[in-house]
Amino acid sequence: GAEGGEGEDGTAVKVYDGSIFRVAKMAGEEWKNLTEKQKAPYDKMAKKNKEIYLEEQGDIPGRTFSNR
């Protein structure tokens, strides 16, 4: 069955038995329902993490990546 808990931000978190694909679909649906203001901290974090990743990849000889 499903069990619940609390996320880091205090929101209710449900853990479902079943396929990772169903969980990913549910997460995507939740994401679509967020406002731009609610998404902003995550978008900022993703951009920063991408910059770090691309910088680290540039340190590997023979690797070239474009910053898309």
For residue range 38-68, list pLDDT tens digits in order: 999 999 999 999 999 988 888 777 766 665 5
**pLDDT confidence tier of residue 30, bands split at 50, 70 and 90:** very high
Q: Tell me: pLDDT of 28 over 60.
A: yes
Residue labelled with tokens 């209710």: 12
pLDDT band at 1 (very low <50, low <70, confident <90, very high): very low
Domain ranges of the chain: 35-60
Q: Are 5 and 15 in contact (CB under 8 A)?
A: yes
Alpha-carbon Rg for the chain in angstroms: 17
Q: In this structure, are residues 31 and 39 in contact, taking their beta carbons and an 8 Å threshold?
A: yes
Question: Where does the pLDDT of residue 20 fall: very low under 50, low under 70, confident under 90, or very high at 90 and above?
Answer: confident
